[in-house]
């Protein structure tokens, strides 16, 4: 069975997600989304007006969306009102399917033009990095 073990804001963890943490498997979208929910709602609850954590599922949609369609995803998140935005980014280049082998953290500091990528290995993210239009 794959029982639900936790619901936390917009995240839902199942037993299979916890098994990933017990083993030597890669993190999945669900675990990263949960951690972003935790950061937003527990670690930095007073910073929600200035910091935005964009989970992997939304980031993947943004990667596949032309510039003129980004507002559909970013406006409901009030992204233009934030100072700092973090994106969970993987190296999947195929927008119509799940996949990828490596996660990176992409950060955008809005008051400047700074865009940083934090990754644990040398990885070519060309074609994977979001075109950040704000």
Average pLDDT, the chain: 85
- Domain 4-118: CATH superfamily is Adenoviral Proteinase; Chain A (3.40.395.10)
The answer to whether residues 54 and 46 touch, using CB atoms and an 8 Å cutoff, is: no
Give residue-wise pLDDT tens across range 52-88. Answer: 999 998 988 888 888 889 999 999 999 989 999 999 9
Which residue reads 């033009």 in tokens? 113
What are the angstrom distances between the C-alpha of 79 and each of 46, 108, 109, 117, 119?
Answer: 16, 11, 11, 18, 23
Check: CB of residue 77 under 8 Å from CB of residue 52. yes
- Select, from the ranges 14-23, 86-95, 105-114, the one with the highest average predicted confidence (pLDDT): 14-23
Full-model pTM: 0.85
Q: Which residue is listed with tokens 């074609």?
A: 127
């Amino acid at each position: 069975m794959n029982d639900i073990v936790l619901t936390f804001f917009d995240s839902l963890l199942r037993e299979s997600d916890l098994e990933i943490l017990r083993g030597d498997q890669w993190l999945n979208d669900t675990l990263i989304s949960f951690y972003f929910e935790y950061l937003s709602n527990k670690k930095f609850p007073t910073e929600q007006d200035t910091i935005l954590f964009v989970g992997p599922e939304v980031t993947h949609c943004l990667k596949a969306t032309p510039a003129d369609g980004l507002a559909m995803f970013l406006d409901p998140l009030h992204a233009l009102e934030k100072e700092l935005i973090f994106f969970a980014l993987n190296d999947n280049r195929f927008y119509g399917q799940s996949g990828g082998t490596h996660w990176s953290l992409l950060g955008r500091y809005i008051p400047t033009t700074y865009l940083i990528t934090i990754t644990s290995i040398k990885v070519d993210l060309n074609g994977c990095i979001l075109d950040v239009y704000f």
